Structure 1
Amino acid sequence: MITIPFNKPYLTGNEVKYIENAVSRGKISGNGYYTKICQDLFRKKFGFKKCLLSTSCTDALEMAAILADIKDGDEVIMPSYTFVSTANAFILRGARIVFVDSRSDHPGMDESQIEALINHRTKAIVPVHYAGVACDMDLIMKLADKYNLFVIEDAAQAIDSYYTGSDGIKRPLGSIGHLAAFSFHETKNIISGEGGMLAINDERFIDRAEIIWEKGTNRSAFFRGEVDKYGWVDLGSSFLPSEIIAAFLWAQLEKLEEIQSKRLEIWEFYLKELQDWSISKGVNLATVPNFATNNAHMFYMVCKDVKQRKCLIELLKKNGILGVFHYLSLHKSEFYREKHDGREIPLADHYSNCLIRLPLFYELSEKELKKITETLKSF
């Protein structure tokens, strides 16, 4: 019986209150009071030029693919070690995915391999900030400028995390590429059950993004009094979430700093308690490159091999603790392996076989943390 789950959604206490308030305002279909205050907070706090809440990070990525005008024959470069949504958004527009291997010191994409994969068909680079830890955005943006490519940050796990460039400036993840997608799924730091957001940093996309968001209509401009009627003017879909989702999210955002602080305490506890044990067992603990910050989205370990991981997961489970693996390499997936160009992508496969994530959620107690670390030390 599992007594310590991998994840437990945290309620700050105001979620139901704000949902009731949203209902009492007489508008719960989306783009109302709570949508606007959430978007304003993100824009002001993190410096995004425009923010649009969405029903999921997947939707935000699909909006980004439309904005980047991805078409049949275009190629999009992204890591193999990522969630299927990262690829699906571009596959749906007809793109061919070109996968990059992971770094040896981190599951994020190996930025040094990107340039060799760029050709005349390449349209975009999609860096995934795995575990909320930044990719080397200086290098990626230089490549984008050199080859006239779009950069779409998959920042699903990266809320309130930062990158420090060679100029010494600390920038929020999601504010560096042309576009970025965030997730508020219940497994993320800040949640709304399902939910996401598109961040727009290139002004040429702002007007069209709002149209795509509103089912391909200029409805938002109409309600601002900018046009005297609205109609179908572009591609689009029903990407915006209801006010109920936005109201829930607002309750979370009010406690952003408190939530982040607690998660960092848990992350640091794991690191301190497992440091010596991990060295003795040949297990590598989560790392953060010096250009990145840590938002404590997850605490992971990389085992020596798949057998060691299997034994550790079983040991945790026998003690009522749920530890879980993560992604399976997309280049070897049933759907895409025949479409992949055949290159070996060994480090992505290594993380697929050897990475294990430990429980990390706001209400994880010190007693539970000690049980988890002591169980591992008994291995």
Structure 2
Amino acid sequence: MINFNKPYLTGDETRYIEDAVASGKISGNGKYTQLCQKFFEDKYGFGKCLLTTSCTDALEMAAILINIQPGDEVIIPSYTFVSTANAFVLRGANIIFADSNSENPNLDAGTLESLITSKTKAIVPVHYAGIACDMDLIMDIANRHNLFVIEDAAQAVDSYYIGRDGVKKALGSIGHLAAFSFHETKNIISGEGGMLAVNDMKFAERAEIIWEKGTNRSAFFRGEIDKYGWVDIGSSFLPSEVIAAFLWAQIEHLDKIQNKRKQIWNQYFDGLKKVALEGNFKLPQIPDYAVNNAHMFYLVFESAEKRTECISKLRNKGIHAVFHYLSLHKSPFYAAKHTGGNLFWSDNYSENLLRLPLYYELNEKDVSFILKAMLNAEN
């Protein structure tokens, strides 16, 4: 059986966890938390990083930081995970759903201006499969309309956007704020886990307070104040040192993990190029302004029936391939609130997109077996 996903362990996770436990500081914001945060700040140019217990928590922090109020509108793609919407719904926002574009599941930035009203507060682009949205266009629109941009970079660790000026910028470093995931399905993991990247430094001090349950506890431990107390709203967003220690072991092997995932991705792409031209599906399309972090390998079939048929044939060979999101604008919770009409491309990906297994421990023989099964499924 070839599973869809298998978490990769570097071998150092338990050693670092034992070290964290032995230190007597396991409640969070200790040695490993600070190592992880500094790594991301230094390598990717994020303004300030704060580890969280999930990407969902990071998005919820972002919603608090931009002061979302009941009735505010937030634009997000319909083709995304529910957390992208929930973080803002919890603060009372109305969600305005954007359609995906025809080339890939990212939101169609060209439609954004038509969705903006006097109530719009933020745009939340989701970098699906770690592939960049058109961030120059999104930031231009946001700046003209005085809107915040919060990058949902859950799948975009170690991925980049190439701007019109030719400068390559890490995804998550462009918007005012960004949220990352280290869930066990991501490129580097900590079981559950996430991170908020603060790029507009006017949010930095308050972000740390919200992170620490609404207290200025971090400033107290740095010796900046002589006592700490409750100064703002917040919650228990800070993860334990056990989570951070696990993540640090992954970070130390990031380049090795990324190289292997890209090798697998390229083997899929090269193996399916010819049949894609003749068959019932399209391969991933990566815009010129984006790079590939090999988070996911997906296919887009010409019909839901063809996708279902392929899933069934692969499972008969012991291969677990899966579909992905269902359009949020049609969800039981939000369908009655959606006023934006048909979102053709979001529904197209909901009905026709298929993800193939992609994880570190897949070897060349495994991928060849999957490719052979795919080719047979097309015959």
Could you state the TM-score of these two structures normalised by the residue count of structure 2? 0.99
Residue 196 of structure 2 aligns to a residue whose secondary structure is: strand
Q: 1:146-196, CA deviations, whole angstroms, 9 ceiling, x for partnerless residues?
A: 000000000000000000111110000000000000000000000000000
Cα distance in 2 between the residues matched to 1:198 and 1:280: 43
Cα distance in 1 between the residues matched to 2:283 and 2:224: 54
Aligned to 2:349: 351
Residue 378 of structure 1 aligns to a residue whose secondary structure is: helix
Map residues 263-282 of structure 1 onto 2, 5 A cutoff.
263-282=261-280
Aligned to 1:107: 105
Q: Which of residues 120, 127, 144 in structure 1 aligns to 2:125?
A: 127
Residue segments in structure 1 that go unaligned for 5+ positions in a row: none
Q: Which of residues 235, 254, 257 in structure 2 aligns to 1:256?
A: 254
Structure 1 position 366, deviation (Å):
1.1
Asked whether the 8 Å contact 2:131–2:291 carries over to 1, the reply is yes
The residue type paired with residue 85 of structure 1 is S
The residue type paired with residue 317 of structure 1 is R
RMSD (Å), alpha carbons: 0.5
Cα distance in 2 between the residues matched to 1:202 and 1:216: 20
Residue 134 of structure 1 aligns to a residue whose secondary structure is: coil
Residue 300 of structure 1 aligns to a residue whose secondary structure is: strand
1:73 aligns with 2:109: no
Q: 1:88-131, CA deviations, whole angstroms, 9 ceiling, x for partnerless residues?
A: 00000000000000010101100000011111100000000000
Map residues 120-269 of structure 1 onto 2, 5 A cutoff.
120-269=118-267
Structure 1 position 342, deviation (Å):
4.3
Structure 1 position 262, deviation (Å):
0.3
Asked whether the 8 Å contact 2:264–2:358 carries over to 1, the reply is yes
Structure 1 position 343, deviation (Å):
1.0
Aligned to 2:296: 298
Cα distance in 2 between the residues matched to 1:287 and 1:158: 16
Cα distance in 2 between the residues matched to 1:145 and 1:350: 31
Residue 186 of structure 2 aligns to a residue whose secondary structure is: coil
Structure 1 position 287, deviation (Å):
1.4
Residue segments in structure 2 that go unaligned for 5+ positions in a row: none
Could you state the TM-score of these two structures normalised by the residue count of structure 1? 0.99
Cα distance in 2 between the residues matched to 1:359 and 1:215: 38
Structure 1 position 282, deviation (Å):
2.9
Structure 1 position 286, deviation (Å):
1.1
Residue 236 of structure 1 aligns to a residue whose secondary structure is: coil
Map residues 74-89 of structure 1 onto 2, 5 A cutoff.
74-89=72-87
Cα distance in 2 between the residues matched to 1:200 and 1:32: 20
The residue type paired with residue 40 of structure 1 is K
Aligned to 2:335: 337
Cα distance in 1 between the residues matched to 2:38 and 2:125: 25
**Residues matched between the structures, number:** 377
Residue 4 of structure 2 aligns to a residue whose secondary structure is: coil
Aligned to 1:36: 34
Residue 357 of structure 1 aligns to a residue whose secondary structure is: strand
Aligned to 1:54: 52
Residue 107 of structure 1 aligns to a residue whose secondary structure is: coil
Dislocated runs of 4+, deviation >4 Å: none
Cα distance in 2 between the residues matched to 1:268 and 1:342: 38
Q: 1:131-150, CA deviations, whole angstroms, 9 ceiling, x for partnerless residues?
A: 00000000000011100000
> What is the percent sequence identity of the aligned residues?
65
Aligned to 1:22: 20
Residue 336 of structure 2 aligns to a residue whose secondary structure is: coil
1:10 aligns with 2:8: yes
Residue 198 of structure 1 aligns to a residue whose secondary structure is: strand
Cα distance in 2 between the residues matched to 1:103 and 1:371: 32
